[in-house]
Amino acid sequence: MDKKVNENSKDQQLEQFRADDKDKAMTTNHGLKVSEDEFSLKVGERGPTLLEDFHFREKMTHFDHERIPERVVHARGYGAHGEFEVYESMQSYTKAKFLQTPGTKTPVFVRFSTVAGSRGSGELARDARGFATKFYTEEGNYDLVANNIPVFFIQDGIKFPDLVHAIKPEPHNEIPQAATAHDTFWDFVANNQESAHMVMWTMSDRAIPRSFRMMEGFGVHTFRLVNDQGISHFVKFHWKPVLGVHSVVWDEAQKLNGKNPDFHRQDLYDAIATGNYPEFELGVQIIEEKDEFQFDFDILDPTKLWPEEEVPVKIIGKMTLNRNVDNVFAETEQIAFHPGNVVPGIDFTNDPLLQGRLFSYTDTQLIRLGGPNFHELPINRPVCPFHNNQRDGYGRQTINVGQVSYHNNSLAGNTPTPVSQAEGGYAHYQEKIEGRKIRARSESFKDHFSQATMFWNSMSDPEKLHIVNAFSFELGMCKEKTIREQVVEMLVNVDIDLASQVAKNLGLVVQAGNSSGYSKISPALSQLNTVKKPNTRKIAVLVSEGFDGELVAVLDTLKANGTMVETVSEHQGAIKGADGSLLEADNTFSTADSVLFDAVLVASPQGTTPMYQKEASYFVREAYAHFKPIAAIFSGDQLLDELGYTGQVGVIAKETGASFVESFIDAIANHRFWNRAV
C-alpha cells in the first residue's frame, strides 16, 4: 500500500518534465520557433556557414555532448527577479511581441556583476560591471547581456582570451585579485590601443558605482530591429536608472571592500526587501539603414558609442526589480545568459566582437553547467513550451516519449515541425553580403582615440581629477617603468593635459606627441548631469543618551522624504532622550562606518563619553573628506564648529524646523560636494 502511494507520488513529480513532441511546432531549447531545420545559415547558397547560426550551434553542440565549474569572468554577481512593462508600441521597428502593446508586462531576471574578480572578491573593485537581463517572453527567452559601460576594450572576439588573460591575476603568483593595477593589464592596453576609449571609462567614476541601482546598462553592440515588413533599423540598447547614475570615491571604495565586501549585493537585497524596488527605463538609439555611414565613426565598432546628442535615446519601457532570489546558487549562479538568445524582430549585425560572443557563450555554459541541458534548469527554462529532437546528455530533466528523435521522419508525422515566419518561426534578416573570406579589420575601425578624447572633453573638472588620480594609482602599481611610459605615450593621443598630469604624478616626462585636437563634447557622459534624488539614500544619525526629544519628529520627516535612517551610538538598544522619548540604536561605532552611508546627521555629541566624542569626530571627518552631505541639529552643531566645517558647502547647521530638513534633503539629493575645501 505504502509502496503504491510512493510510486504515484514520484509519477506526479516527474510529470512536469514529460514532453510529448508529437504534433508540436519545432523550437529551440529556449522556446524560439524554428523556421528551417534542413539548412545552416550561409553567406550565399554555396557560401560558408556563419557563426551566428545559433540554431545550428545549439543543435550541434547538444549532439556533441549527449554522452555525458565558477564563471571565468563575471564570477562575482548578484541577481533579482522583476518585470518589464513597455510604454509604447514598437511595432514600426520590431515584430517582437513583448514590445507591441503598451502595458504588456514580461517577467525578467537580472544579474549584476563585476568582471575581473573571483566569487570571493570585493564588490567595490575598480572594474566594469555586468548588467545581464533575461526576458521570459511568450516567444522564447531574450537575453540583453549588457555592461555599465557602453564600449569595450577590443574590436574582435578573437582577442577576448588575450584581454581576460591580461586582466586576471598574473599566472606566476596569482596576484592581484580583482584589480587592473598590474603590469600585464597595462601592457595589454599599451600594445592594443583600441582599448583607449574603454580605459578612459574604467578610470572614471563609472567603474566604482554607488549601487547596482544607480548605474546605467548598455548593450554595447549594435543590433538590428526588424519589423513585420522585413524593414531593419540599427539599434543600441540602454538601461537608465530612475535614481540617476552615482558613484563612490576611490578612498571610499577601498575602505568599503574591507568594511563590507558585499556592499552592492547587500544594497540591492535590502532595497527589494524594504519595498524600494529598483527601477530602470529601457531606451533605444535607432539609426536607419540608409544612414549607416553618415557618422564620423563606424556604428558597428564596439569601442565606439553613439553620442546621445546625435542619436537620441528613445525611452520605451521600464523594468522593476521586485523579488529577491530564494536561493543564490539555484538562481543567480545557474542563470545562463547568451546574446544569441533572441526573439523574432531582434537580430544581429556584423560587429566582430558580437559575432565572437555568439559562439563563446554557449560554449562556456557547456563546461560551467556540466553539459548541454542547462536550458532545463528552472531559472533558465522559457515560460513557453519547447520541442525538438535533442536528447540525453548530462543533467537531462525532460522525459521524452516515443521512438523518434530526428528530422525528417514519418513515424511521428514529421513532428516537431519547423514553422513559417508568418507562424512565428525565426528568420534571420537577409542582409546582402559580398566579399572574399579574409582575416582583417575594417579601415573604419582604426580610429582609437577620437571618442576617448570626447569622453575626456565631456567630463567636469572633478571627474577629470578622478581620472588623473585613477591612472596615477593604477600605473603607479606597475613594476615595470616601461609599461608606465608606454601608457603615458598612448594618453598623449587622447589629451596632452591628461598625459602631462599623469606623467608628473609618475615622475615621467611627456614626449611630444600627436594629440588629436578632437573637440566634440557629449554632456550625457558626465555624471554631474544625471538625475538627483534623495530616495533610498542612507543617513547615519549620531545620537547619544539625553538627545533632544524633537529629534524623533525630524527623523520621521527624513524617512517620509524617502531616505533610509539608521542610528549610531555608544551601544545598541534603547536610548533615552532628555524628555523621556526613546530611540533604538541600530549600530555602534564598531559596527558602522561613514563609508556605509550617504550622509551624516550629528544629533547630540555633548554630554557623552570621551570615546564617543572621538569616534563621532572621526566618523564626521571621514564623511567630510568624501564630500558627503553633513548636518547637525540641536547641540550637534558644536562638533561641526570644533572641526571647522560650519559654513562649508554641503554642511547644514544652525538651522531648525522645516528649513533644516529641506536643506538637508536637497544636500542629500546633490550626492557630493566636489568644490568643498578639504
52 close to 340: Cβ distance less than 8 angstroms: yes
- 539 and 566 Cβ atoms separated by less than 8 Å: yes
Helical pair 461-476 and 250-259, crossing angle rounded to 10 deg: 60
Whether 147 sits among the annotated catalytic residues: the reply is: yes
Cα 610 to its chain centre, rounded Å, is: 44
* Residue 604 CB neighbour total at 10 angstroms: 28
What does 424-479 look like in DSSP terms, one character per residue?
Answer: T-B----------------GGG---SHHHHHHHHHS-HHHHHHHHHHHHHHHHT-S
Looking at 29, 141, 147, 148, which residue is catalytic? 147
Whether cis (ω within 30° of 0) applies to the bond prior to 605 is no
CA distance 94 to 78: 31
Q: Which of 346, 367, 417, 358 is closest to 387 using CA atoms?
A: 417
Task: Choose the catalytic residue: 30, 55, 62, 74.
Answer: 74
Among candidate residues 79, 175, 41, 121, the one with its CA nearest the CA of residue 477: 175
Helix (H, G, I), strand (E, B), or coil: what is residue 333?
Answer: helix
Residue 470: name the closest of 256, 203, 674, 648 by CA: 203
SS3 (DSSP) at 273: helix
- For 116, list phi and psi in degrees, rounded to 5: -85, -35
Cα 349 to Cα 454: distance, rounded to the nearest angstrom: 25
Whether 268 contacts 128, CB under 8 Å: no
Alpha-carbon span 218 to 359, nearest angstrom: 20
CA distance 103 to 35: 29
- CA dihedral for 327, 328, 330, 332, sign (positive or negative): positive
74 is catalytic: yes
3-class state of residue 502 by DSSP: helix
Alpha-carbon distance 615 to 643, whole Å?
Answer: 13
> What does each C-alpha distance from 126 to 282, 446, 455, 471, 640 come to in angstroms?
26, 27, 18, 11, 32
Measure the CA–CA gap between 271 and 538, rounded to whole angstroms.
Answer: 11
Residues making up the chain, counted from first to last: 678
Q: Tally the C-alpha atoms within 13 A of residue 183's C-alpha that lie toward its C-beta.
A: 12
Q: In angstroms, rounded to a whole number, what is the distance separating the alpha carbons of residues 6 and 508?
A: 77
> What span, in angstroms and rounded, lies between the C-alpha atoms of 480 and 170?
14
Rounded alpha-carbon distances, angstroms, from residue 617 to 586, 589, 668: 19, 11, 20
The DSSP bridge pattern shows strands 538-542 and 564-569 to be parallel
Cβ atoms within 10 Å of 361's Cβ, excluding its own: 18
Secondary structure (3-state) at 318: strand
Amino acid found at 89: S
* Residue 619 parent element (H or E): helix 610-625
* Amino acid present at 100: Q
Active-site amino acid positions: 74, 147
